């Protein structure tokens, strides 16, 4: 059996917000993953999600911290059980960042998905807050969760190529984890100043990622929200400043 999971930073900005969220939910509906991880969810965005037809097929899981400023939310297929759902704070964060945990079961396989948005810090320093958060996250994910057949970290990691070269890749290797991505010579960017008009003048990077145990095989990897829609005012608008990512892995 394959497990399909999507992650998408849906962008808290108010510009075209309702139309953007509705289009993002519509695109996620076409993928029909078992689990959806959203980041940068605000109170108005959560309301738009609840009012969208996607909730016919999905339960929305959030807590009191999800929308304090902006935060993380899960959507889980209604035919999948919620074994556990909770969040814990990162030890160090200037932005109120937290670790969100969802436990479920599929075909008698215990699955844990962790939804995160690491600190928006781009110094590249191996002792920065973002590096400390990733270290805490990896220790949490694989320190006491060996009873879970699959543990998947999903979300906006804010990891750049500079972080990878300086410390991130080595940190993953030390705990026998991999940054799950397809084998390709073509760069993959989920934050792309050349394709996405919401981030013109910024940079290109693969900020949005999935982290799994070494040996996990990515059967499918697809970017979402790469085509703009036509807003009511006639403007061509992308659903977010990030592209979403949808993967399938074998259980």
Taking the complete model, does pTM exceed 0.85, yes or no? yes
Residues in CB range of 243: below 8 A, 6 or more apart: 189, 190, 191, 192, 196, 208, 223, 224, 225, 226
CA angle, 111 then 102 then 21, to 5°:
120
174-225 confidence digits (pLDDT tens): 999 999 998 888 899 999 999 999 999 999 999 999 999 999 989 999 999 9
Domain segments of the chain: what residues? 2-250
Domain 2-250 = CATH 3.60.10.10 = yes
Sequential pLDDT tens for the chain (251 residues): 889 999 999 999 999 999 999 999 999 999 999 999 999 999 999 999 999 999 999 999 999 999 999 999 999 999 999 999 999 999 999 999 999 999 999 888 899 999 999 999 998 889 999 999 999 999 999 876 566 678 999 999 999 999 999 999 999 999 999 999 988 888 999 999 999 999 999 999 999 999 999 999 899 999 999 999 999 999 999 999 999 999 999 88
CA distance 37 to 113: 9
């Amino acid at each position: 059996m394959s497990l399909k999971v999507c992650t998408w930073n849906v962008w808290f900005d108010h510009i075209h917000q309702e139309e953007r969220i509705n289009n993002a939910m519509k695109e996620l509906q076409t993928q029909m993953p078992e689990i959806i991880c959203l980041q940068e969810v605000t109170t108005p965005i959560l309301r738009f999600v609840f009012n969208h037809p996607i909730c016919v097929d999905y339960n929305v899981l959030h807590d009191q911290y999800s929308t304090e400023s902006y935060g993380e939310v899960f959507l889980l297929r209604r035919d999948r059980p919620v074994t556990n759902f909770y969040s814990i704070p990162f030890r160090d964060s200037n932005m109120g960042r937290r670790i969100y945990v969802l436990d479920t079961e599929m075909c008698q396989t215990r699955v844990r998905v962790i939804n995160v948005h690491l600190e928006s810090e781009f110094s590249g320093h191996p002792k920065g807050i973002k590096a400390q958060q990733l270290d805490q996250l990896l220790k949490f994910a694989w320190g006491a969760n060996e009873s879970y057949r699959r543990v998947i970290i999903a979300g906006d990691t804010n990891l750049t190529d500079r972080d990878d070269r300086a410390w991130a890749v080595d940190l993953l290797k030390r705990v026998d984890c991999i940054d799950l991505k397809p084998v390709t010579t073509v760069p993959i960017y989920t934050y792309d100043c050349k394709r996405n008009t919401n981030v013109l003048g910024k940079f290109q990077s693969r900020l949005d990622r999935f982290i799994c145990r070494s040996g996990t095989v990515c059967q499918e990897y697809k970017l979402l929200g790469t085509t703009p829609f036509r807003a009511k005012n006639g403007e061509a608008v992308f659903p977010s400043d990030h592209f979403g990512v949808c993967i399938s892995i074998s259980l």
